[in-house]
Amino acid sequence: MAQFEPYKNEIATLGTLVFVAAERRGRKFRNAVAHFRKHRSSFAYLLDEDRKVTKAYGVYERLTLESINIAKPATFIVAQDGRLRWLHLGTRTERASVPEVLEEFKGAAQGR
């Protein structure tokens, strides 16, 4: 999330950025309020505790050799009409780069 902060004004002209974490408060984010007070974000954040969002977008993994009950790292760009414009499905250690996301975000905003 912090990587996108320097681009918050540019992103605001293109659309809305929302972060989703498939995590329960009792685990990594057990003290989510304190975390967000310390690490302010200009963007919306959804703690997907029941995994409804990650399941709806097809990135939830119930059981694999690498994980149990977590979501694959993914970046979606969804147009205002609800259509998926771009998807990057990562691995446990790899995610879409900020420049790549910004370029795709710009393209979607321009209708490309």
Give the pair of three-digit tokens for residue 46.
Answer: 């959804």
Q: What is the mean pLDDT of residues 73-92?
A: 83
H/E element, 74 = strand 74-78
Burial bucket for residue 11 (CB in 10 Å: 0-12, 13-18, 19+): buried
Output the furthest CA–CA distance in the chain (Å, rounded): 41
Domains present along the chain, CATH in parentheses:
2-109 (3.40.30.10)
pLDDT of residue 110: 84
pLDDT of residue 87: 86
Average pLDDT, the chain: 79
Q: Of 9 and 22, which is predicted with more confidence? A: 9
Is residue 36 predicted with pLDDT exceeding 60?
A: yes
User: 63 pLDDT band (50/70/90 cuts)?
Assistant: low
- Separation in Å, CA 92 to CA 11, 12, 34, 69, 73: 26, 29, 26, 13, 7
Is residue 70 predicted with pLDDT exceeding 80?
A: no
